[in-house]
Structure 1
Amino acid sequence: MADLVVLGYPDEATAEKVFSQVQELQKSYIIDGSAAVLQRGEDGKIHVQTPTGAVGAGAATGALWGGLLGLLFFVPIGGLIVGGLMGAALGKAADMGIDDDFRAKVQDVLKPGSSAVVLVFSKVTPDKALDALAPYGGEVLRTSLTKEAEEEITKALAHA
């Protein structure tokens, strides 16, 4: 089972510093997983940054993170959540381990003008990771994902 962790920050600069720190923790095998930075502009639009750069609309990573964002924010991304597909999308969110309460908290953390680092990981050395990330503060949200959801995310990011 994997965990989905959202680290919320009031500004883009802090989230980018944390993202760089997470990448160092990954290189040191303290965190084993995938990460992205979400930036919500003042206009409410969400931009996704992964280790390989900004996510493009046609990329597998873009589809995956776009789908995850659609499930978290109930926004139409690539036509995923429209009309009769809402029930299926909500079912998919529940299958991934993302409940209504978690979605509401993520939406509250990622307000216009703010940013977040999103981590999907199956292994972490908690004390070392917490020590490295503690100086940045931020709001921490965490939920568990199914093994299938973890594999889907990892596979998409590997092809980015």
Structure 2
Amino acid sequence: MATLTVWRFPTPTGSEAALNTLKDLQKQQLITLQDGAVVTWPEGAKKPKTRHLVNLTGAAALGGAFWGMLFGLIFLVPILGMAVGAAFGALGGSLAHSGGIDESFVKQVRERVTPGTSALFLLSSDAVLDRVRPAFEGWDAELIQTNLSTEEESRLREAFGEEQEAH
């Protein structure tokens, strides 16, 4: 079962540092990083900068369409060349059926990821929590988490992962 996590950091560079730590933990087989994106929001900027993480594992990625639509919904800005209009309808329909990604989750992220902060969005699995947790002690990071059931994960992959590969 996959877990979608959002790690919020009180600085615009915290997410990049955390990503490097997570990549090291993946090399030690303490977590499997399936897909993700980084959001940095420098102080004074009107909107955040986003970057889809590619080649975390090569397989099981949801794709840029998922991240683009999710960030468009949260931050009201499209990324990765996605048009907002019809994309929101597709995202809303797909995410409405995924119990872990709901209006409350979107609202939490929107309220916490603001100018002067950064966030790391990850789809991960197989975390050895007693080894991963200590790697982040003292980081001053806030974890916003939602667990996806196997069925919810499959629906997201069906809606966003395979669709991207066909294009």
TM-score normalised over the length of structure 2: 0.73
Residue 125 of structure 1: aligned partner: 128
Cα deviation digits, residues 59-108 of structure 1 (max 9, x gap): x943332122123334445223x2x7655432222223311111111011
Partner residue in 2 for 1:115: 118
Paired residues of 2:68 and 2:78 also in contact (CA < 8 A): no
| Equivalent position of 1:134 in the other structure | 137
Matched ranges for 1:77-116 at <5 A: 77=79, 78-80=82-84, 82=85, 86-96=88-98, 97-116=100-119
8 Å contact kept, 1:37–1:117: yes
Instruction: Specify every segment of 5 or more residues in structure 1 that has no aligned partner in the other structure, as ranges.
Output: 54-59
What residue in structure 2 maps to residue 2 of structure 1? Answer: 2
2:58 aligned residue: none
TM-score (norm 1): 0.76
What is the deviation of 1:140?
0.8
How many pairs does the alignment contain?
150
Q: Give the alignment of 1:49-64 within 5 angstroms.
A: 49-51=51-53, 61-64=63-66
Higher strand share: 1
| Residue type at the aligned position of 2:153 | K
Does 2:71 align with 1:69? yes
Of 32-41 and 130-139, deviating more is 32-41
Alignment match, 1:39: 40
CA contact (8 A) 1:9 1:139 kept: yes
Structure 2 unmatched ranges of 5 or more? 56-61
Correspondence for 2:23 = 23
Q: CA RMSD in A?
A: 3.0
Indicate if the aligned counterparts of 2:65 and 2:164 stay in contact, CA closer than 8 A: no
Could you tell which deviates more after superposition, 65-74 or 138-147? 65-74
1:94-131, Cα deviation, whole Å (9 max, x unpaired): 22331111111101111012101111112211111111
State the alpha-carbon separation in 1 of the partners of residues 88 and 113 from structure 2: 22
